[in-house]
Amino acid sequence: MGEIRHQQYQTWLEACERWREFEALSASEVQDHQLKELNAQLSYTLANSPFYSTYWASCPRNVSSLTELSKLPFTTKEDLRGGYPSQFVAAKDSLIIRYGESTGTTGLPTSSAITYRDWILCNVAVEASVGHLFGPADMVFVSIPYELAFASYDLDRALEAIGATVVSTGALTSVCPIDRVAQMMCNVHPAGLICTPTRALRIFDMIRDIGEDPRRVGLKTLLYVGETCSSAKLTKIGKMWSVDVATAYGATETNSLGLQCELGQLHLTEDRYIFEVIDPQTGQTVKDGSSGELVVTSIATEAMPLIRYRTGDEVTVSPSGSCACGSPRRTIQHHGRLSEGYAVGGRRLNKLAVEQQVLSTRGTGLYYAAGVEGDQLVVRVQVEEGALVEKTLRSVENSVSQAFSVPCRASSVSLSSIMAAMDQMLKPGSLNLEHLRAVE
């Protein structure tokens, strides 16, 4: 065995042991453990990260309690963009084993780098989580982008480690476009599919379009990632495919942040990060159970440690002990990107909350788009075959108006318009009114 391979094997053993030890901690022991690791991480980061050693030189390298963390400044997505490509990399070049970049769909790209230890500390947790969903007899399609990303490889390797059969279709390739994925699913009958919720819908429609019955694929579990989803939409997807639905949460710059336990709750990866929830307006920390913006601080990262990084994600974190599985890790609910809301009538509406109202209205189908025109919320929604169109649209207007106290105008949209718009999008889950106008 080569020396590097031997070191990697030792790292893997250490990661497994570390994961098991953390799971056995009590809630107060978790805090003690995090404080110790935080102080080591602060010293390391302020000494080795070009960004932090330059701009945060006067910051303390030690805190006496976890609450003192809130006295440190935030790191923002703009900081990451400004530090592109290597200002946040604290480890030596020889230790970096992967480099990736964001898609850049919402501005300039950001970069990510990881060492083998970073990679494996994360990967053993992903392995434990997907082990609740799949096993050696299962074939699983990984239909998320592999290009420049980490999540696909992370899930891919975790599935391999639990003995599943991995089919790495990706999501953006010309070799395996979505219609080929649909046809392959009919041919080889995977038990699992990993993709965005929107892609799961598109594949379902494509299978029907080629004259096959999607339920005869035999899919058992959909693991959705890369896009948040209302419970109304998830329920519809689960029913139409007749599958269990699970999720995982993360970002390219952090890798996994939330992984499901055997009871289906999304637990925070608190062995690798400290998580705070803040009021996005004031920056003040809010209590567990209140919604706000998720802020993460690395405590075990070598390559690209981040201190108080504002994720831009709206979440609620529940206290430790709220899940019956016994894990000391707190659980999280993800309510979508803060930037994706609608500002109407002096109020800010959460995108998923709007989706929930629209898609839980009787007669609505699976697709919708919304936006603000003047002082009202405009909703375009697919109406189910057989449903009364006008009645459904008025119900949507009433439901949304009552829920959010804003005027709402609803009109129908055809499935063909939705598909024409989505098939041109890198992230079809972001469908909006402009995308529909461009194809109608």
Any contact of residue 265 with Zn ion (CB under 5 A)? Answer: yes
The residue (of 87 and 320) whose beta carbon lies closer to Zn ion is 320
The least distance separating Zn ion from the CB of residue 295, rounded to whole angstroms, comes to 23
The least distance separating Zn ion from the CB of residue 275, rounded to whole angstroms, comes to 16
The residue (of 53 and 316) whose beta carbon lies closer to Zn ion is 316
The least distance separating Zn ion from the CB of residue 319, rounded to whole angstroms, comes to 13
Q: Which residues of 250-278 are buried (b: 16+ CB within 10 A; e: fewer)?
A: bbbbbbbbbbbbeeebbbbbbbbbbbbbb
Q: What's phi and psi for 136, nearest 5 deg?
A: -60, -25
The least distance separating Zn ion from the CB of residue 302, rounded to whole angstroms, comes to 28
Taking the C-alpha atoms of residue 114 and residue 137, their distance in angstroms, rounded to an integer, is 31
Q: Say how far residue 144 (Cα) sits from the centre of its chain.
A: 12
Taking the C-alpha atoms of residue 414 and residue 380, their distance in angstroms, rounded to an integer, is 9
Taking the C-alpha atoms of residue 195 and residue 173, their distance in angstroms, rounded to an integer, is 14
The least distance separating Zn ion from the CB of residue 352, rounded to whole angstroms, comes to 22
Phi-psi group of 308: left, alpha or beta (phi > 0 → left; psi -120 to 50 → alpha; rest → beta): left
Total residues in contact with Zn ion, by rule CB under 5 A: 5
Which one of the spans 53-61, 165-173, 262-270, 298-306 is the region binding Zn ion (CB under 5 A)? 262-270
The least distance separating Zn ion from the CB of residue 251, rounded to whole angstroms, comes to 22
Taking the C-alpha atoms of residue 52 and residue 307, their distance in angstroms, rounded to an integer, is 9
The least distance separating Zn ion from the CB of residue 331, rounded to whole angstroms, comes to 7
The least distance separating Zn ion from the CB of residue 263, rounded to whole angstroms, comes to 5
Label each residue of 398-426 as H, E or C.
HHHHHHHCCCEEEEECCHHHHHHHHCCCC
Q: How many CB atoms lie within 10 A of CB 366?
A: 22
Cβ-contact 296, 241 below 8 angstroms: no
The residue (of 132 and 180) whose beta carbon lies closer to Zn ion is 132
The residue (of 260 and 356) whose beta carbon lies closer to Zn ion is 260
The residue (of 37 and 262) whose beta carbon lies closer to Zn ion is 262
Name the β-bridge partners of 408. Answer: 377
Which one of the spans 14-22, 253-261, 372-380, 428-436 is the region binding Zn ion (CB under 5 A)? 253-261
Residues constituting the chain:
440
The residue (of 176 and 325) whose beta carbon lies closer to Zn ion is 325
Phi-psi group of 383: left, alpha or beta (phi > 0 → left; psi -120 to 50 → alpha; rest → beta): beta
Report the amino acid identity of residue 412.
S
Name the β-bridge partners of 195. Answer: 224
Per-residue binding string, Zn ion, 343-362, x by CB under 5 A, is --------------------
Task: Single out the residue of 100, 382, 403 nearest to residue 233, CA to CA.
Answer: 382
The least distance separating Zn ion from the CB of residue 38, rounded to whole angstroms, comes to 24
Site for Zn ion in 303-342 (CB under 5 A): 323, 325
Q: Which residues of 191-223 are buried (b: 16+ CB within 10 A; e: fewer)?
A: bbbbbbbbbbbbbbbbbeeeebebeebebbbbb
Output the six-digit token pair for 85: 């490509």
Question: What is residue 320's DSSP assignment?
Answer: T
The residue (of 40 and 325) whose beta carbon lies closer to Zn ion is 325
The residue (of 41 and 327) whose beta carbon lies closer to Zn ion is 327
The residue (of 110 and 327) whose beta carbon lies closer to Zn ion is 327
The least distance separating Zn ion from the CB of residue 270, rounded to whole angstroms, comes to 13
Which one of the spans 102-110, 136-144, 257-265, 432-440 is the region binding Zn ion (CB under 5 A)? 257-265
Say if strands 291-298 and 309-318 run parallel, antiparallel, or are unpaired: antiparallel
The residue (of 102 and 265) whose beta carbon lies closer to Zn ion is 265
Taking the C-alpha atoms of residue 152 and residue 90, their distance in angstroms, rounded to an integer, is 24
The least distance separating Zn ion from the CB of residue 321, rounded to whole angstroms, comes to 10
Which one of the spans 6-14, 44-52, 121-129, 264-272 is the region binding Zn ion (CB under 5 A)? 264-272
The residue (of 264 and 407) whose beta carbon lies closer to Zn ion is 264
Which one of the spans 54-62, 147-155, 214-222, 256-264 is the region binding Zn ion (CB under 5 A)? 256-264
The binding site for Zn ion (CB under 5 A) comprises: 261, 263, 265, 323, 325
